[in-house]
Structure 1
């Protein structure tokens, strides 16, 4: 498992753990072409740390939001086809995992209290 982390200027952060396969999929998608990470020093636990971050501002934030919205629409169609009329609980959980992850990331991208994103 790997992670995608959102940071604010005020020491707030949110970490989302994702499977390696999801991060590989993101790396091959338009997601990584939206903007490049740059070194940025943040204070974390009262210590200055330099991290490679992408700034979430204006058009940049909108592009990430649009990316996740488009992928949510695409994934919703796939999920509906997979589930049929009466899926088991496990089938439902397996089929909706990526969709739920996309939705969580979209909400964090759109949360303006976060100014940076980091993905490994």
Structure 2
């Protein structure tokens, strides 16, 4: 598993989203990889200052947050379409879980990025 993390300047604990290596490989081959520039930033994590390479979600004429949000909405719509094609009429529980994994992770990522208490995104660790 890999982690995508969001960090706050406001003292909120980090949000960590665990994703499979397959999901992350799929994500970084998309436009997700093109959004934002990763830069080193000193962030307070668990009471200690740590240097991490992150994307500042507030930067850009059209903010990285907005660009990521719009990207995720578009990809989620495509994923729903593909999911319905894969599932058919009576999927098993396992088929359902496998078919909905990407959509659940995309939704989790979108909701986290929309939370303006978090200013920084670390793509994978």
Q: Where on the TM-score scale, by shorter chain, does this alignment land: which range?
A: over 0.9
Which structure 1 residue ranges, 4+ long, deviate > 6 Å from structure 2? Answer: none
Q: What residue is the counterpart of 1:79 in the other structure?
A: 83
For residues 23-58 of structure 1, give each alpha carbon's deviation from its aligned partner in whole angstroms, at most 9, with x where no partner exists: 111221111111111010011222211100101126
More helix by share: 1
Is there any run of 5+ residues in structure 2 with no aligned partner, and where? none
Task: For 2:37 and 2:111, locate their aligned partners in 1 and report how far apart those are by CA, in whole Å.
Answer: 21
Counterpart pick for 1:94 among 87, 95, 98: 98
Paired with 2:45 and 2:53, the residues of 1 have a C-alpha distance of 14
**RMSD over aligned Cα atoms:** 1.1
Specify the alignment match of 1:13 in structure 2.
Answer: 14
- The alignment covers a number of residue pairs equal to 120
